[in-house]
Structure 1
């Protein structure tokens, strides 16, 4: 039990640190006002302008001051048509901005399932290692309880059991950083149903089931207990 309480403290520290820094940073109002060319077209979801600018020689992978390409800006703005036009123009759909995020992870954190599916269809890999935590879009979505995004990432080939540099899988994050409510219950159900390994423990040897039990997340614990043996 002491080990679990120690783990809970470490989770609190990690969560506080993650919330204080290194989160995704969308373009600020000042940055948006200063955008021109493809970055403006991406923000405004202007596919015709994207095609016209690229035809005139604009670089589809140009970077702003935070390393965002027009595709990243399109993801933050949920600009589906612009993203399609950028992909058609040869934009790198797996580019990472300065915060180490790609289009899929930006959309996953924003709880934008349609953008997630579209980006994968356009060539953005669901298995990219993203963020300073060496995670994935699936881990980010599971952490936040974005269960429909989780469902689409799983369908798109996201690795179920990737372990980030905190020692956590998507399932572990859904438990230790979730609130045990309906969204995280649904997230756990998707992950377990897809075959996530429920036995992968954290660095202290505590499993997702034990974390769920310690927090009183009865429904999540029941889903994990019912998982088929591996």
Structure 2
């Protein structure tokens, strides 16, 4: 439920403090009774706002106070999902320690893993793959993390590392997109020779 500044005098202060990453001000606002799950005009909770600003200490404090790391805003971002997509590995670790649900999906129907793969966040992908997250989850585009790492990736060292991690975790190397195009076929079309070699070695067709 959205709590406005009019409903509690410290809500606006809490939201401002989260935006600034001001740990002391966050603590003061919470101690004065500001609701932990207050929301701004975009539906963002303080922990999501702090995550958006990459304010690690602020996000951690809010989680320690019991913030819901799975609470989603108007565009279906949560602190956990956003941290995964941005490659904020420290916040991802903290969120996992405070109840992050890897099954929650973003506005594209993807888990935190998929955009992390796309954007080449190797450390974040490694952390996420240490959980029970579904390595072959398919988003609304019909893509898995492996497909996104190839189709939207650069083919460089980071995406090569991610492909290795996904394959080691058991990703289905020949799970094709909606048009029946496999990761290997995409890699070949895009001229990603190193990625193609990795996929071929894993049985890619």
The answer to whether the 8 A contact 1:193-1:227 is kept is no
Please name the residue that 2:145 is paired with: 170
Equivalent residue of 1:148, what SS?
Answer: helix
Post-superposition offset of 1:153: 1.1
List gaps (5 residues or longer) in structure 1: 1-34
Looking at structure 1, the residues matched to 54 and 190 of structure 2 have their Cα atoms a distance apart, in angstroms, of: 35
Q: 1:191 aligns with which of 143, 166, 171?
A: 166
Asked if residue 180 in structure 1 is aligned to residue 155 in structure 2, the reply is yes
Give 1 or 2: higher helix fraction.
1
- Describe the superposition over 1:13-56 as per-residue Cα deviations: whole angstroms up to 9, x where unpaired: xxxxxxxxxxxxxxxxxxxxxx9421222233333333332232
The answer for the alignment partner of 2:70 in structure 1 is: 94
CA deviation after TM superposition for structure 1 residue 228, in Å:
6.7
The residue aligned with 2:47 is: 71
* Over 4 Å off, 4+ runs: none
The 8 Å contact of residues 117 and 149 in structure 2, kept in 1 or not, is answered as yes
Q: With the length of structure 2 as denominator, give the TM-score of the two structures.
A: 0.87
Alpha-carbon distance in structure 2 between the residues aligned to 1:129 and 1:45? 26
Residues 153 and 159 in structure 2, CA contact (< 8 A), matched pair in contact too: yes
Residue 223 of structure 1: how far off its partner (Å) = 1.2
How far the C-alpha of 1:182 sits from its partner, in A, is 1.6
Aligned-residue RMSD, C-alpha: 1.8
Q: Structure 2: how far apart are the matches of 1:68 and 1:215?
A: 38
The structural deviation recorded for 1:84 is 2.3
Per-residue deviation at 1:96?
0.7
1:134 aligned residue (95, 99, 109): 109
Query: Normalising by structure 1, what TM-score?
Result: 0.78
Equivalences, count: 194
